[in-house]
Structure 1
Amino acid sequence: MSSLETSSEALPTDTQNTKPLRIRVLNLAWPVIGENLLETMLGIVDVALVGVLGVSAIAGVGAAQQGLYLLISILAALSIGCAVLVAQAVGAKDLARAGRLARQSLLWSVVISVPLVAIGFIFSRPVCQHLWYECGGDRDRRGLFACDDGHRRGAGGVFIGSGVLRGAGDSRTPFIVTAIANIINVPLAYGLINGAFGLPNLGAVGSAWATFMARAVALVLLLMALWQGRNGVSIRQGLSWRLDLSVIKQVLTIGVPAAVEQILTTLAFTALTVLVGGLGTATLAAHRLVITITSFAFLPGFGFAIAATSLIGQAIGAKKFADIKPIARIAATWSAIWMGAIGLLLIAFAPLALRVFTDDQAVIDAGATALRVLGLVQAVWAVQFVYSGGLRGMGDTRSPLVLFAGGMWLSVGVAWLFLRLFQGGLVSVWSAFLITTPVIAGLMVWRFMQRVQQLK
């Protein structure tokens, strides 16, 4: 706990702002990358632990998680909107406003999460039946959804709390909290799934209970951090706990386009999967593995994008407009270096990367060329991610919505066209990104520069 307590009243903003921009970007980005890596690994470990119980157990966990993905997309409106406004308030040294934004976002996350949790529990049985998942009996199914709904409620607070802290310039605390949650979750999940360590044998339901308890601990730790204060931002000092519609309106004005962007992007990936579904089982399996591997490759880009959002938001609040372009350039350069290096590794070792997940040669053959194609555009994606994050930091979430989500759906259309024209396999689908990604990245940079010019 000492790591969480060391910045009880955190460093003054002036002290932070005197650090070189490169150091500030890196200090914010690496904990986010580590946190996202831990979250990704946790999902893989949970599936592996449940996998020993059979296909129905895996399917049941997958069904329960669909509600979580929906909730995360909805809460993105709160998390991103609050993070941007908190960053701008910190930059303007209006710490009272930053604390008020933090408290209101946490309150509204509860207001939004509770009815969704109730709906998830009530409709757990028809959802499972509609998705054709046999979750091992009605009692197990409802138990799985019940504790997973509790997990969703905790996840809402964790999601918002982490966003507030990053907006305040503290990405280390969410990283530390996520690490602690993972340390709790993995042995607890193993024990509850298999009845080990003297714990009850709950089967697949044990996975959801373990995640729920780990999330509860994470939520408590994040609330403690926000109560103590980070970079002067606290939910404790002289603020009302009553819901304030004016605050949530400001948050949602920025956050809703970001949430819509996430939803449309998720649907675009779903549409790609539908296109690939007609190419055979091995190709579909390869497609899913390509997405999994690419999610690891994206981690540096997401980390530097969040750093750009926070630091550019603070620069906007402080009216230090001259810092905006250098922040974006530094973040984009480092992001491109890391993702470009990962891209080279994907090109060189694509079959080996796939072999980590499967020994099926047909799947490896189908996925290797697609991975190499994606390796070619990693550095370009890095630039797109960072400048999208920079636009969000300026309070412009509509441009990333139009360009990012629009680019994804353009890629779906090009992929469909390639399949029609060339009768190709998985490589035809992913080759669409060779055409669309440079165009969207270029437009994102152009829009960013245009917005910076408007500030002068």
Structure 2
Amino acid sequence: MATLRGLQHRVARLFRSSPLNRRVWSLALPVMLSMTTFTAIMITDTAMVGRLGSEALAATSMGGTAFWTVMSLFIGAAHAIQILVARRFGEKRLFEAGNVLYTALYLAIIPGGILTAVCIQFTLELIAFLSHGERFSDNAISFLRIRFLGLTLYFIIFILRSFFDGIGRTYVGLVSAITSMAANIFMNWVFIFGHLGAPAMGADGAALASTLAGIPGILVFVPFFFGKAMQALIRPALRLPDMRVLREIVLISLPTSLSELVMNLSFLMFYKIAAMIGTNAVAATGIVVSILSVSFMPGFGFSIATMTIVGQSIARKQYRKAYHGAYRSAAYAALVMGGMACMFLSIPGPLIRLFNEDPAVVEAAIGALVLVALGQVGDAYGMNLAGALRSAGMVYHVLAVYAVASLGVLLPVAYFMGVYLQLGTGGLWSGILVWILVLWGILAYMFSGNRWQHIKI
């Protein structure tokens, strides 16, 4: 009976109008909405390209995953920027918070430009390795080369959004995301199907639309730098990169970038395993990823709220608030993602047919979607606890967890079930389910202690 009352009390806390609950939602909701715009772009791309057939869909799915694998290096840096800005802002060291932004922008433009050139040069070799000789490889090569042209643009967007997230103005990233979404969807219509005098470029048109949409996504940040409250952060406007700050960004972002890279490389290899099963398995995997983004992106929004609350609370030595903020945010994420999972389990077929009506692709995708829906609550807690531990400074620990889980669990299980046992796409995605549950258990154990409270960054 006492256990039941305790559970009722915990659930009731989620629906009270407390300062902590309001803080979580005020931080998470704009990020959720902004990430939902990325979901809308992904869904629109998949739905529009899906009309062109399974080969075009497989090409954009694999090419898109390869693009975001490279972007994971930048995403790790963006996490580091948010962590540093949140900590310095919480300590009232405003000029130093601004230094983080300026130094990061130099990092985006110079190394980002070099990485763009390298990626374009080796696109052919990358797709040849991943595609396992399937027919969609030529489409994937041209798609990915166009997407790589936008690497630096999207790195700048992630930096600017992370800066504003770190100072608690998460709504700014929402404005940028909505602008990019509107531009991307409009240009999809123009370039994929050839409207307004443009050539019908097919899958390449989707890549071009996504690349060009980064330009308005950057420009809309500019007005938010005006106003008295921002002057202490951004003046003087012309600053050289701060080598001490650069070192901090690298030290914090390196393990985060590596953990993101390991995870994304694992997903690239996951696509390679799917290619061993066949083109339909790759196309089905792309559809399932697009549908899952409806659940994943709101969960990611709560993890951003977790990082900001934990970072600022630790800076003020409010460790209890950091702990409860992380779990409160994770609980909200679990409610949202659990609700999405119920929808996935109820109507998997109709959802999949929105993207492609090929019976073989639909059949392959249904089992995968049902399987991974079972892990959505665990994914919600895993994402938020990983964000909390990173914000507290345990970035190397999180890296180790993701490396072991991705390389030691996800890929072996996916290959064994999908290829060796010939269970197809459903067997392939069982690796994702096991991976999610393993991450949840390990990260929850790590956050249950108090070591994370005393790490200096």
The TM tier, using the shorter chain, reads: 0.7 to 0.9
Shift of 1:114: 1.8
Q: For residues 230 and 359 of structure 1, do their structure 2 counterparts lie closer, same or farther at Cα, with a shift above 3 Å needed? A: farther
- Secondary structure of 2:283's counterpart equals helix
Unaligned runs of 5+ in 2: 1-16
State which of 316, 339, 342 in structure 1 corresponds to 2:340. 342
Would you say the 8 A contact 2:415–2:428 is kept in 1? yes
Partner amino acid, structure 2, of 1:24: R
Given that 1:98 and 1:233 are in contact with CA atoms closer than 8 Å, whether structure 2 keeps it comes out as no
Q: Aligned partners of 1:224 and 1:235: how far apart in 2?
A: 15
The aligned runs of 1:125-136 (5 Å cut-off) are 133-134=137-138
Return 68-77 or 376-385, whichever deviates more. Answer: 68-77
Moved more, 43-52 or 20-29: 43-52
Relative distance call for 1:234 and 1:454 in structure 2 (3 A) is closer
Q: CA deviation at 1:55?
A: 8.7
Structure 1: state its 5+ residue gaps.
1-17
- Is the counterpart of residue 177 in structure 1 residue 176 in structure 2? yes
Write the letter of the residue equivalent to 1:38: T
1:18-33 correspondence to structure 2 within 5 Å: 20-33=19-32
SS in 1 for 2:41: helix
- Secondary structure at the counterpart of residue 347 of structure 2: helix
Q: What does 1:260-409 align with in structure 2 at a 5 Å threshold?
A: 260-409=258-407
- Amino acid corresponding to residue 431 of structure 1 in structure 2: S
8 Å CA contact 1:411, 1:432 repeated in 2: yes
Counterpart Cα distance in 2 of 1:327 and 1:250: 25
Aligned mates of 2:448, 2:110 — CA distance in 1 = 38
Identity among equivalent positions (%) equals 24
Structure 2 equivalent of residue 440 of structure 1: 439
Q: Which residue type is aligned with residue 289 of structure 1?
A: I
Q: Which moved more, 1:181-190 or 1:158-167?
A: 181-190
Tell me how far apart the structure 2 counterparts of residues 394 and 151 of structure 1 sit (CA, whole Å). Answer: 32
Q: Which residue of 2 aligns with 1:163?
A: 162
Query: What's the offset of the Cα at 1:156?
Result: 1.8
Change (3 A) 1:441 1:200: closer
Deviations 1:199-258 (A, max 9, x none): 554746665554444322221222432x32697576531365212222111011111111
3-state SS in 2 of match to 1:428: helix
Matched residues in 1 for 2:66 and 2:366: separation? 32
Partner of 2:98: 99
Matches of 1:257 and 1:217, distance apart in 2: 31
Counterpart for residue 3 of structure 1 = none
Structure 2 counterpart of 1:39: 38
**Compared CA separation, residues 88 and 430, structure 1 to 2 (3 A):** same
Contact 1:170 1:230 in 2 (8 A): no
Distance in 2 between the 1:244 and 1:269 partners? 35
Displacement after TM superposition at 1:356 (Å)? 1.9
Structure 2 matches for 1:100-249, cutoff 5 A? 100-120=99-119, 133-134=137-138, 145=145, 148=147, 150-192=149-191, 196-197=195-196, 200-201=198-199, 203=201, 210-225=209-224, 227-228=225-226, 232=230, 236-238=234-236, 240-249=238-247
Aligned residues of 1:418 and 1:429 also touching (Cα < 8 A): yes
Structure 2 contact 88–96 (Cα < 8 Å) conserved:
yes
Closer, same or farther: CA 194–378 of 1 in aligned 2, 3 Å: closer
**Letter aligned with residue 399 of structure 1:** H
Return the letter of the residue paired with 1:76: I
- How much has 1:398 moved relative to structure 2? 1.5
Label 1:129 to 1:234 Cα distance change in 2 as closer, same or farther (>3 A). farther
Q: Which amino acid aligns with 2:254?
A: V
For 2:436 and 2:126, locate their aligned partners in 1 and report how far apart those are by CA, in whole Å.
36
CA distance in 2, matches of 1:118, 1:286: 31
What SS does the aligned partner of 2:221 have? helix
Distance of 1:110 and 1:186 partners within structure 2: 26
> SS of the residue aligned with 2:261?
helix
Question: What code does the residue aligned with 1:91 have?
Answer: G
Work out the CA distance in 1 between the residues paired with 2:335 and 2:374.
13
**Length, aligned pairs only:** 432
Q: TM-score, normalised by structure 1?
A: 0.82
Question: d(CA) in 2 for partners of 1:351 and 1:55?
Answer: 17
- Aligned in 2, Cα 1:185/1:336: closer, same or farther, shift over 3 Å? closer
Flag the 1:61–1:375 CA change in 2: closer, same or farther, 3 A.
Answer: closer
Q: Which moved more, 1:122-131 or 1:231-240?
A: 122-131
Give the secondary structure class of the aligned counterpart of 1:298. helix
Which amino acid in structure 2 is aligned with residue 286 of structure 1?
A
Please give the alpha-carbon distance, in whole angstroms, between the structure 2 residues aligned to 1:208 and 1:118: 17
Q: 1:126 to 1:134 in 2, by over 3 A?
A: same
The amino acid that maps onto 1:400 is: V
Give the equivalent residue in structure 2 for 1:12: none
Q: Distance in 1 between matches of 2:297 and 2:181?
A: 18
Counterpart-to-counterpart distance in 2, 1:107 and 1:344: 45
Output the CA distance in 2 between the equivalents of 1:219 and 1:432.
37
Give, in whole Å, the separation in 2 of the partners of 1:372 and 1:389: 27
Q: Which residue of 1 aligns with 2:12?
A: none
Counterpart residue identity of residue 100, structure 2 = L
Contact 1:90 1:317 in 2 (8 A): no
Answer whether contact 2:371 2:429 (CA < 8 A) is retained: yes
Between 1:200-209 and 1:285-294, the stretch displaced more is: 200-209
Identify if the C-alpha distance between structure 1 residues 111 and 452 changes in structure 2 by more than 3 Å, giving closer, same or farther.
same
CA contact (8 A) 1:350 1:371 kept: yes
* RMSD (CA atoms): 3.5
Deviations 1:14-69 (Å, cap 9, x if unpaired)? xxxx9811111111112222222211322343465567788998788779767743
Q: Following TM superposition, by how much is the alpha carbon of 1:435 offset from its aligned partner in structure 2, in angstroms?
A: 4.2
438-447 vs 147-156, greater mean Cα deviation: 147-156
